Amino acid sequence: MCWRSFTLICLLLFVLAGSAAAQTKPVSERAAATAMTALWRDAAKNESAFPAKWTYDHGLVLKGIERVWRNTGDSQYFDFIQHSMDHFVTGEGTIRTYSLDDYNLDNILPGRNLLLLYRVTGQEKYRKAAALLREQLKTHPRTNEGGFWHKKIYPYQMWLDGLYMAEPFYAEYASTFHEDAAFDDIAKQFIFMERHSRDDKTGLLYHAWDESRKQRWANPQTGRSPNFWGRAMGWYAMALVDTLDFFPPNHPQRAELIAILNRLARAVAKYQEPRSGLWYQVLDKGAAKGNYLESSAACMFVYALAKGVHQHHLPAKYLRVAQNGYRGIVKEFLKTDANGQLNLEGTVSVGGLGGNPYRDGSYEYYLSEKVITNDPKGIGALLLAATEMEIAPRKR
C-alpha cells in the first residue's frame, strides 16, 4: 500500500470515528448543536444570522438550550443564550423589534430567557426588558371575564397556544419579584381556557374560543373552533407544568391547576397511537384520510407528561406513556445526515385561525400547512423532551 493511500484511509477512519463519537452524545446535546448551527447558522460569528425579530419560537429553542446547560453545566450553552438575547436587548433595557402596543402574547415567551439572565448575571438591562413585557400584561386586552386575548388583532379570542406564551413567564416574574396577587390572575387563565375549550366526550381541548362568536371558524353556540390540533394542546400541557414550577404551594387554586393537568393527561394518553407511541396532527381523527403523526406535539406531550410525573403532579403510569412517545420520536422523526447532524423531521410549520388568507380551522386546513425539518418549534420542544427523559433515571 502506498503512503498516500494509507494517509487517506487514516483520514477517513478519523472522520468516521469523530462522527461516531458525536452520535454517542445524548439526544439533547445533539439537538442543541443542530439549533446552534442550523437555526442560528453560527450566529456568534455572523450578526446577520440572528432571527430577524423577537419571536416566540426562538425563545422556545433557548429554553431548551437552558435545560441542556443545566443538565451538563457546560458554559457554551449559557453563553449562547446570552449572546442571542443581547442581539435584541439594548444596554438601556429596551427590546429591538418588540412593540408593546402590538399586544401579542407570542412576544411574552422570550421573557423567560431574560429572567434567567437577570438571575445569573444580575445585569439591570435584563430586569428592565422583562419588566417591559410585564407591563404589556398589565394592559393587555381581555375577554369580559378576564381572559387574555391571544393578540390585539384577534379580539375576544383565547387560544391554547397563548397559555404557554404568557403564563410561565407571568408566574416566574411574579415569583421573582413577589407579586403574590398575580397568581390569582394566572390561575384564572387556565381555568377559563379549559372551561371554554374542553370537550366533555373526548377530554380534548379545541384549539381556540371566540367569546364574541363573530369568527367564521367559531361555533355559533359555543364559540369553539372546529378541531383538536395536536400542538395547541401541547402548548397548553407545557404551560401547566412550567407554571406549576413557580406557583405557591399554599395557593387555593394550585390544586385546580393540577386537576386540569390530570384531566388533560388522561385525554392525551387516550389518543396516543398505540403502534408508534405518537400523536396525530388532528388528535381524534387518526383514521381520517391525510392525517399524519406530527413531531412537535409528540415532543410537547412527552415533556409535559414526564415532567408532571417527576414533579409529582401526575400518577407514575403516565411516565410509560411518555417513554413510549419518546421511543416513537427517536424512531420516526430523528435522522442523522451525512455530516453527523441530528435533524428533526415531521413538524408542521404553523397552525392558526382567522387572518388573511383566512384559516377556517377545518380538518382540511390543518392538513394543508407545510411539514418541515428542523422547525424551531419542533427543535425547541425536542430539547425539552430529551432533557426531561435523560434525567428520568436519576428521578426514579
Give the Cα-Cα-Cα angle 218, 106, 143 (nearest 5 degrees). 45
Q: How many residues does the chain have?
A: 396
- Active-site annotation holds for 79: no
CA 231 from centre of chain:
9
**Is residue 227 helix, strand or coil?**
coil
Q: Give the residue from 58, 36, 105, 15 showing the smallest Cα distance to 380.
A: 58
Distances (CA, A) of 59 to 66, 130, 175, 216, 357: 11, 13, 20, 31, 26
Closest CA to 384 of 112, 202, 188: 112
In 3D space, the residue among 355, 59, 58 whose CA is nearest the CA of residue 208 turns out to be: 355
SS3 369: coil
| Residue from 374, 219, 197 nearest 296 by CA | 374
Neighbouring residues of 236: CB distance < 8 A, sequence distance ≥ 6: 160, 161, 163, 164, 193, 205, 264
Catalytic member of 161, 210, 242, 375: 161
The Cα-based distances of 74 to 67, 87, 270, 382, 390 in angstroms read 11, 21, 38, 19, 16
Residues tagged active-site: 161
